[in-house]
Chain A
Amino acid sequence: MDQLLQFLISGLTVGSIYALVALGFSIIYNASDVVNFAQGEFVMIGAMSAIFLMKAGLSYPLAALLAIAITAGVGLALEKFAIEPAKNATVVSTIIITIGASIFLRGAALLIWGKEIYGLPPFTSNNPIKIGNATILPQNLWVMLGTAVTVLAVKYFFDRTKMGKAILACSYNKKAAYLVGINVKKMLLVAYGLSAALGAAAGLLVTPITFMSYGAGVMLGLKGFCAAILGGMGNSMGAVLGGILLGIVETVGAGFISSGYKDAIAFFVILLVLFIKPSGILGKGEAERV
C-alpha cells in the first residue's frame, strides 16, 4: 500500500508534465486543426533559453520571463513563415511542415546551445516533503500547480474571452469566422504564440526535475501528443486528464507489472481506450478528415 501511494504520486508528477505539454497541442489544434509536432521543441527552447540567459547573468525570474517571450516569438515566426504561407496545404502536408519545423528548431538549438545536458535550480527548496511513507519534491508541486493554473486560464480564455471564442470559431469554420469579421490570420498567430509560451512555461517547470538538452523535446512532445489524444484532441480538460492518466498508467504498470515494458503497457492502454472510444476519453468525435 505504501508503494501504491508512492506510485500514484510519481504518476501524478510525471502526468502533470505530460498534461502541460498536451495543453499546448490542444490550443493550436483548436485554432487550426493542425497537430503541431514542433510542440516538444517549444518546451526545449523555453528551458534552454532560460538556462543560457541565467548563465549570462540574468536573475531567475527575469530569465524565465524572457525565455517565455523568446519562445512565443519562435511560435509566432513558425506560424508566420511556415504555416501561413501553406494555407492551402492538406492536414497531412501541414503535419509534415511541423515535423520539418521541429527538425529545423532542433538543428538550430544544436548550433546555438551545443549538445550538453543542463539543469535549472528548483523554484524553491529541494527538500522532499513526506506524505505517509511516500515523498514528493516541492518542484513536483510547482509542476502540478502550474498545470492547474494554466488549464484554468486556458479554459477561461476559450470559454469567456472574446479572443478565445474567436479562435475557436476559426477552428470550426474559417470562412464563416472571416465573414463575421474575425481576423483569422491574427487569431492563428495568437494561438501559436500562446501555445509556444505555454510550451516554454512547461519547459521551465520540468527542467529542475528532468534536465534539458537540445534533443529532449522529442520525447516530451511525443508523450504530450499521446496525452492529448488519450484525453480527446482539442479538449483542454481532456489533455490534462489524458496526461495524468498516462503518467499513472506508466508508473503503476512499472510498479506492478514490469518497468522494462512500462511504455508498452501505456500504449497498450491507449489503444484499448481508442478501440472502445475512438475519439479519446473526452473527445467529441471527429468529422471525417485527412
Chain B
Amino acid sequence: MRFLKNIVTLLAAFSLVLLSGTGMVQAKDTLKIGSFLAVTGPASFLGDPELKTLQMYIEEINAKGGINGHKIEFVHYDTKGKAKEAKNFVNRLIKKDKVDVIIGGTTSGNSLAVIDIVEKAKVPFISLAGSIKIVEPVKKWVFKTPHTDKMAAEKIFADMKKRGIKKAALITGNGGFDKSGRAQCLALAPKYGIEIVADEKYGNADTDMTTQLTKIRATDAQAIINFGFGKAPAIVAKNIKQLGIKLPVYESHGVASKKFIELAGDAANGIRLPAAALIVADQLSDKDPQKKVLLAYKKKYEAKYGPVSTFGGHAYDALFITVEAVKRAGTIDRAKIRDEIEKTHGFVGTGGIFNMSPTDHLGLNLDAFKMIEIQNGNWKLLY
C-alpha cells in the first residue's frame, strides 16, 4: 500500500513538473538554498551523508521557525559526480529555481566546473570539495568548508619528518581527488626534505594493486602514501599486507569513515591519516571547543542514519556558516549574505574553527586536522 502511495506521489510530482515547467511558486521571504551533490556514483559515500545532513538540519531549522523568520526552501540535484551534470544543475539552480545560496559540489571536479557560472551569476557558493584550487586564488563568490588536499599533504609530511622518514613512495588513483592530492604531495615534499622515490598509479575501479606495490617494494622508500577514496585504498591496504611490506602507511582524509576499516579489516591497523576531529570526537579533551558541536552532530546524525562520517560534517559547517551569515545580514540579499559569509569569525564547526577573510575563503589552519592512527580497528587520536 505504501509502495502504491509512493508511486502516486511520484506520478503527481511528475505531471506537476511537466505542466508547470517552473517548479514551485516562491514564497515572499523564504531563503532558497540550492544544492548539487554526488549522491550516487563513485563519490556517493561523500555526497550521501552531505545530503542527509542538509536535509536533517534544514528540517530542524524550519520546525523551529526558520532563520529570523525566513523559512528555508531546499532544492537538490544529484550530479552522480559528473562535472557536466554539475554545470547543468547549477545553471538550473540559478536560472530555473532562482536560489539565493548554493551549497554543494561534492567532488573537486564538480566544484571547479561551476565556479565560472556562480561568479557570473553572483550567487554565494560554499563548496564541499577538497581541492585547494577552489579557493586559491580567491574568487569573490566561492567559499569552501573541507580541509584542503594541500593541508593533508602538509600534515602527513610533518608527521614523517617527526618519525625521521626521508624517502616516500606515492600511490594514487585516477580520480580528481587522488590526482590533486598527488600533485600537492609532489609539490610539497621538497619543503619537508622528503624525496618521492616512486609515483605509482591505479584505476579506481581496479581489483588488484600488487603490481604497483611490488615496484614500490623494490625502491628504498621508507613509507607509503596513498591518496584515494572508495574501495581502492582498502584494496591497497590489503595488498600491502599480502606482499608483507612493513613500511609505515599514510592514507588521506578520503578514508576517514568506518567503512574503510570495515573493508580493509586488520590490514588497516597501523595506518595513519590526517582527518577532521569528528571521528575521534569522544577522545578530545573536554576543554576543546569543538567537542560539544561534534558530539551533538554525531548523536543527531547517528540516531537517524547510522555511523557518522566527516564528509557530512562539511555540509553541516557550510549550512550553519550560511545560517549565521543570514542572521547577521538580516536579509536574504545575495550580496549581503556573501559579505557576511566572508566575515565568518570564530565559527566552531565540525571541521575546525573557521576564520574567513577576504583573502581566505576557507578559514581553517593546520590545527583543524588531527593526526590519527588506526589501532585495533578503531581510530586513535595521536595529536
Contact = CB atoms under 8 A, between A and B. Distances in A.
Same complex: yes
A216 interface: yes
Contacts of A254: 211-212
Nearest to A206: B207
Contacts of B44: 115
Interface in A175-205: none
A54 to B, nearest CB: 14
A6 B210 contact: yes
A135 B208 contact: no
Given A119-B262, A259-B200, A209 B207 contact: yes
A235 interface: no
A119 B40 CA distance: 19
B212 A7 contact: no
A13 B211 CA distance: 11
A210 B263 contact: no
Contacts of A117: 45, 230-231, 234, 259, 263
B208 A210 contact: yes
A115 B201 contact: no
Contacts of B259: 116-117
B66 interface: no
Interface residues on B, range: 20 to 34
Contacts of B42: 215
B138 interface: no
A72 interface: no
A260 interface: yes
A6 B205 contact: no
A3 B244 contact: no
Given A116-B45, A260-B201, A251 B211 contact: yes
**Most chain B beta-carbon contacts within 10 A, residue among A110, A115, A126, A263:** A115
A119 B262 CA distance: 8
Given A110-B40, A216-B205, A260-B201, A210 B231 contact: yes
Interface string B199-221: 01111010110111011001000
**Most chain B beta-carbon contacts within 10 A, residue among A17, A215, A258:** A215
Interface residues of A, number: 40
B85 to A, nearest CB: 16
A158 B44 CA distance: 42
Interface string A228-266: 000000000000000000000001001100111011000
Given A6-B214, A115-B48, A215 B262 contact: no
B41 A215 contact: yes
A36 interface: no
Interface in A99-135: 110, 115-119, 126, 128, 134-135
A260 B174 contact: yes
Contact of A259 (B207, B211, B235): B211
B215 A211 contact: no
A128 B214 CA distance: 14
B243 interface: yes
B40 A115 contact: yes
A219 interface: yes
Contact of A14 (B41, B207, B231, B262): B207
B47 to A, nearest CB: 9
A89 B234 CA distance: 44
B74 to A, nearest CB: 20
A220 B208 CA distance: 13
B263 A119 contact: yes
B261 to A, nearest CB: 11
A10 B210 contact: yes
Pairs of residues from A and B, 5 with the lowest C-beta to C-beta distance, nearest first? A260-B201, A219-B205, A210-B207, A115-B44, A10-B210
Interface of A: 2-3, 6-7, 9-11, 13-14, 17, 110, 115-119, 126, 128, 134-137, 206, 209-211, 213, 215-216, 218-220, 251, 254-255, 258-260, 262-263
22 contacts: A7-B211, A7-B214, A10-B208, A10-B214, A110-B40, A115-B39, A115-B44, A115-B45, A115-B48, A116-B45, A117-B259, A118-B263, A126-B265, A135-B243, A210-B208, A210-B231, A218-B205, A251-B211, A255-B214, A259-B202, A259-B212, A260-B201
Interface of B: 39-42, 44-45, 48, 174, 200-203, 205, 207-208, 210-212, 214-215, 218, 230-231, 234-235, 241-244, 259, 262-263, 265
